[in-house]
């Protein structure tokens, strides 16, 4: 007698190989080919992106990564300022988005009554549905100028002693790009956090409440620790999304090859540089260097995503044993 | 991993003093949570309101019937609408059948370990940035052949496929096992069971996934830059073997232009795109309702 795992019971995975009918062999074969094809496609994608960048990788070597230059006239290219811009904008976005998203998720799962939570959840979902190019249009024409006129001068007068919030302000820059990314990843992180929080076992938080803790203490001391690995995976997914966003960032970041101390200063990211320069690339080496940027971006996003998947699968295994 | 040790700092009962302060903390957290939710709603309404107020006045019949001129005067987005419809339509035609097959394999045939592997492949593919997919199709197809709307549809279908496959696989897992067993017990072959029992039961959820994915890819710009951005024809074209104008790309070009009249056209085009995306989301909600009724009724 074989034991049946819950997974086999819940899904339709009843794969007995005995007495397969011809129709089943064909259907299963076609379905398997589709699944295998997608796997091959993913491998081909990774290979092709690196292969296209190969001439530049051979030409510049690894030092491309920490060279801060983009000079088509002298054929000198390097990725440092774009990696800097990508990492800084994405981490600022994550830093702002995570507490807001957790707060939204807590509001929707723990605080709001159902008939208020449902419409607000829909509205937050719709925020994720706004195409990035529209958000970028709003960013460049409305949000950037508003930041330049109001938010950045305010930040400067309050925190101007910090080097990151000093210097002249611009309509496009690192900070507007980071805030546009924040708007893009808040709905993603909050939706996933909401799912995590709704799976916190009631008996754990109820036990804490019965011991006399307030609702917040039950969440803070029992709920959040339970969901912590999931939250870190969700943060990584949000970070991966922020790393990869090209269009909206290209519209608001200002497109300058610079590693500036000030967040008000224009900069550029890997994705934005590829999106804006690909059509204007004049030499073969410049095109190849853009593809090198693409390969770097792909590696960064794949590592972030696979790390998130890894945490999720370990988390789920632990929960099943629990 | 989940063991909560009796660390004195974690001992809630030891903190019963200062009840007023603890209640106050609870209130403050609730207020922060409400404000965060309101902030997210406010940003959506500000963006929608701006697009509506700046775009609506630009909408007239010529905006929908005239093409974007290569130079100069006021035109419309007819070419972009036709191009987007063709590209997204072809994309769905490529992606949906493959996605449903992959989902069926994962949910109906694969062993648990294989299912986990393919789910992971889909999630990793889903996490590949759109611009990287653009570079991939550029290198695979565009180099040597030139840009075309078909290649653009290929690129978008790589983005769409994992979204639809994951959504489909999740609804297939919700189809009650008893339905499959009843069908198999009657001697119906497995493939026939999937085709006539499982898929019809899950159709609402599958359609929800498809419609949401269509809404997502219709607004994607980055892959189109590499596959369908060098527009050579002037006016509305339906020749899918050439690069076609598209709505997101038109918005992107309008936004990069210095001219205020282009900005106005950009707002109007953005309004059309957002209206389409919101419509798709409403449609998805109706399909989701369909699914629930059907599953509850069974």
Per-residue pLDDT of B95-109, as tens digits, reads 999 999 999 999 999
Is residue A76 within a helix (H) or strand (E), and if so which, with residue range?
strand A76-77
The conformational region for residue A212 under phi > 0 = left, psi -120 to 50 = alpha, else beta, is left
Which of B23, B175, B226 is the closest to A278 by Cβ?
Answer: B226
* Maximum distance among all Cα pairs of chain B, rounded to whole angstroms: 76
What is the spatial distance between Cα A63 and Cα A47, in angstroms, rounded to a whole number? 21
Query: Is A279:B229 a contact under the CB 8 Å cutoff?
Result: yes
Which pair of tokens denotes residue B264?
């106005």
Following DSSP, what letter does each residue of A164-209 receive, concatenated?
Answer: GG-S---SSSHHHHHHHHHHHHHHHHHHHHHHHHHTS-HHHHHHHH
Which pair of tokens denotes residue A136?
């970028």
End-to-end CA distance of chain B: 40
Task: Please check whether residue A85 touches B, CB under 8 A.
Answer: no
CA–CA min distance A182, chain B (Å): 11
- Residues near A104 by Cβ (< 8 Å), separated by ≥ 6? A124, A186, A190, A193, A194, B33, B36, B37, B40
What's the confidence (pLDDT) of residue B105? 94
What is the spatial distance between Cα B148 and Cα B141, in angstroms, rounded to a whole number? 9
Cα-flanking dihedrals φ and ψ of residue A77, to 5°?
-130, 150
What is the spatial distance between Cα A49 and Cα A60, in angstroms, rounded to a whole number? 17
**Helix/strand/coil (H, E, C) string of B127-139?**
HCCHHHHHHHHHH
Q: Which residue of A has its CA nearest to B127?
A: A305
Cα-flanking dihedrals φ and ψ of residue B263, to 5°?
-60, -45
What's the confidence (pLDDT) of residue B238? 82
Cα-flanking dihedrals φ and ψ of residue B69, to 5°?
-75, 150
CA A304 to chain centre: 9
Chain B residues whose beta carbon lies within 8 Å of the beta carbon of residue A21 = 189-191
Crossing angle for the helix pair A224-244 and A80-106, to the nearest 10 degrees: 140
What's the confidence (pLDDT) of residue A3? 44
Q: Which residues pair with A71 in a beta bridge?
A: A76
The reply to whether residue B131 touches residue A183, judged by beta carbons under 8 angstroms, is no
DSSP A211: T
What's the confidence (pLDDT) of residue A7? 42
Q: How far is CA B168 from CA A193, A321, B2, B165, in A?
A: 22, 27, 32, 5
The reply to whether residue A134 touches residue B219, judged by beta carbons under 8 angstroms, is yes
3-class DSSP state of B17 = coil
ipTM (interface pTM): 0.87
CA–CA min distance A161, chain B (Å): 28
Query: Is A53:A63 a contact under the CB 8 Å cutoff?
Result: no
Q: How far is CA A56 from CA A50, A76, A159, A243, A293, in A?
A: 10, 11, 42, 22, 10
What's the confidence (pLDDT) of residue A6? 42
- Provide the residue count of chain B: 298
Query: Is B121:A34 a contact under the CB 8 Å cutoff?
Result: no
The reply to whether residue A130 touches residue B34, judged by beta carbons under 8 angstroms, is no
Chain A residues whose beta carbon lies within 8 Å of the beta carbon of residue B225 = 275, 278-279
What is the spatial distance between Cα A211 and Cα A85, in angstroms, rounded to a whole number? 48
What is the spatial distance between Cα A8 and Cα A321, in angstroms, rounded to a whole number? 16
Residue whose C-alpha is closest to residue B228's, from B244, B240, B250, B212: B244
Q: Which fold has domain A63-321?
A: MetI-like fold (1.10.3720)
- Residues near A266 by Cβ (< 8 Å), separated by ≥ 6? A170, A172, A173, A174, A253, A254, A255, A256, A258, A260
Task: Please check whether residue A40 touches B, CB under 8 A.
Answer: no
Sign of CA dihedral A219, A225, A226, A228: positive
Task: Please check whether residue A71 touches B, CB under 8 A.
Answer: no
What's the confidence (pLDDT) of residue B12? 53
Q: Which long-range contacts (CB under 8 A, 24 or more apart) does B68-75 make?
A: B68/B245, B68/B250, B68/B265, B69/B234, B70/B231, B70/B234, B74/B261, B74/B265, B75/B265
Hunting for tokens 């001129």 — which residue is that? B69
What is the spatial distance between Cα B115 and Cα B127, in angstroms, rounded to a whole number? 18
Which of B26, B105, B255 is the closest to A136 by Cβ?
Answer: B255
In degrees, to the nearest 5, what angle opens at C-alpha B286 toward C-alphas B285 and B290? 115
Chain A residues whose beta carbon lies within 8 Å of the beta carbon of residue B281 = 125-126, 129
Query: Is B262:B117 a contact under the CB 8 Å cutoff?
Result: no
Task: Please check whether residue A222 touches B, CB under 8 A.
Answer: yes
What is the spatial distance between Cα B196 and Cα B178, in angstroms, rounded to a whole number? 15
Which residue positions in chain A have pLDDT lower than 70? 1-19, 319-322
Which pair of tokens denotes residue A13?
């995975």
Residue whose C-alpha is closest to residue A171's, from A203, A190, A152, A148: A148
The reply to whether residue B36 touches residue A100, judged by beta carbons under 8 angstroms, is yes
Query: Is B293:B78 a contact under the CB 8 Å cutoff?
Result: no
What is the spatial distance between Cα A22 and Cα A25, in angstroms, rounded to a whole number? 5
Residue whose C-alpha is closest to residue A293's, from A44, A57, A47: A57
What's the confidence (pLDDT) of residue B186? 92
What's the confidence (pLDDT) of residue A321? 55
Q: How far is CA B5 from CA A36, A221, B192, in A?
A: 45, 12, 53
What's the confidence (pLDDT) of residue B5? 52
Cα-flanking dihedrals φ and ψ of residue B31, to 5°?
-65, -45
pLDDT (tens place) for every residue of chain B, 298 residues total: 444 555 555 555 545 568 888 888 889 999 999 999 999 999 999 999 999 999 998 888 888 888 776 665 667 888 899 999 999 999 999 999 999 999 999 999 999 899 999 999 999 999 999 999 999 999 899 888 888 999 999 999 999 999 999 999 999 999 999 999 999 899 888 889 998 889 988 988 899 999 999 999 999 999 999 998 888 777 788 888 888 889 999 999 888 888 888 888 899 999 999 999 999 999 988 887 765 555 555 4
Query: Is B61:B74 a contact under the CB 8 Å cutoff?
Result: no
What is the spatial distance between Cα A101 and Cα A107, in angstroms, rounded to a whole number? 10
Task: For A178-204, write each residue's pLDDT tens digit.
Answer: 999 999 999 999 999 998 898 888 888
């Amino acid at each position: 007698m074989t034991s049946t795992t819950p997974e086999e019971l819940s899904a339709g995975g009843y794969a007995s190989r005995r007495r397969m009918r011809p129709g089943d062999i064909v259907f299963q074969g076609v379905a398997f080919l589709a699944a295998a094809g997608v796997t091959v496609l993913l491998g081909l994608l990774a290979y092709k992106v690196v292969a296209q960048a190969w001439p530049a990788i051979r030409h510049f070597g690894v030092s491309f990564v920490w060279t801060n230059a983009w000079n088509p006239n002298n054929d000198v290219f390097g990725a440092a300022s774009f990696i800097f811009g990508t990492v800084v904008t994405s981490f600022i976005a994550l830093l702002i988005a995570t507490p807001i998203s957790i707060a939204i998720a807590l509001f929707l799962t723990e605080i709001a009554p159902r008939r208020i939570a449902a419409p607000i959840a829909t509205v937050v979902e719709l925020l994720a549905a706004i195409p990035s190019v529209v958000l970028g249009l709003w960013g460049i024409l409305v949000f950037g100028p508003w930041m330049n006129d109001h938010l950045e001068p305010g930040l400067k007068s309050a925190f101007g002693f910090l080097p990151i919030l000093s210097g002249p302000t611009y309509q496009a820059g690192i900070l507007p790009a980071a805030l546009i990314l924040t708007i893009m990843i808040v709905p993603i992180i909050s939706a996933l956090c909401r799912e995590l929080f709704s799976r916190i076992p009631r008996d754990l938080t109820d036990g804490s409440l019965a011991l006399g803790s307030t609702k917040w203490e039950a969440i803070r001391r029992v709920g959040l620790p339970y969901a912590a690995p999931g939250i870190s995976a969700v943060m990584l997914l949000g970070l991966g999304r922020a790393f990869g966003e090209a269009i909206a960032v290209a519209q608001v970041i200002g497109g300058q090859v610079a590693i500036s101390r000030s967040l008000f200063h224009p900069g550029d990211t890997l994705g934005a540089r590829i999106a804006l320069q690909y059509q204007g690339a004049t030499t073969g080496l410049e095109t190849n260097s853009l593809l090198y940027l693409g390969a770097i971006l792909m590696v960064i996003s794949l590592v972030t995503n696979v790390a998130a998947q890894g945490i999720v699968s370990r988390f789920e295994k632990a929960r099943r044993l629990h | 991993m989940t063991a909560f040790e009796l660390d004195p700092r974690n001992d809630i009962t030891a903190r019963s003093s200062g009840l007023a302060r603890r209640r106050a903390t609870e209130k403050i957290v609730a207020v922060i949570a409400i404000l965060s939710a309101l902030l997210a709603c406010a940003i959506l309404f500000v963006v929608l309101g701006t697009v509506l107020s700046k775009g609506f006045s630009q909408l007239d019949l010529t905006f929908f019937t005239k093409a974007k001129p290569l130079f100069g005067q006021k035109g419309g987005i007819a070419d972009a609408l036709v191009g987007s419809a063709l590209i997204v339509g072809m994309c769905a035609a490529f992606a949906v059948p493959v996605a449903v097959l992959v989902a069926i394999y994962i949910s109906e045939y694969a062993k648990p370990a294989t299912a986990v592997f393919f789910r992971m492949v889909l999630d990793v593919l889903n996490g590949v940035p759109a611009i990287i997919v653009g570079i991939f199709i550029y290198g695979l197809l565009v180099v040597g052949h030139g840009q075309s709307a078909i290649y653009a549809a290929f690129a978008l279908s790589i983005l769409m496929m994992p979204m639809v496959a994951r959504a489909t696989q999740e609804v297939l897992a919700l189809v009650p096992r008893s339905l499959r067993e009843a069908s198999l017990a009657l001697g119906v072959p497995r493939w026939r069971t999937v085709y006539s029992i499982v898929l019809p039961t899950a159709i609402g959820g599958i359609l929800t996934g498809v419609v949401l994915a269509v809404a997502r890819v219709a607004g994607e710009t980055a892959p189109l830059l590499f596959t369908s951005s060098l527009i050579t024809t002037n006016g509305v074209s339906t020749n899918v073997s050439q690069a076609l104008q598209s709505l997101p790309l038109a918005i992107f070009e309008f936004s990069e232009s210095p001219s205020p009249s282009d900005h106005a056209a950009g707002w109007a085009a953005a309004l059309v795109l957002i209206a389409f995306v919101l419509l798709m989301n409403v449609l998805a909600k109706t399909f989701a309702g369909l699914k629930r009724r059907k599953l509850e009724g069974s």
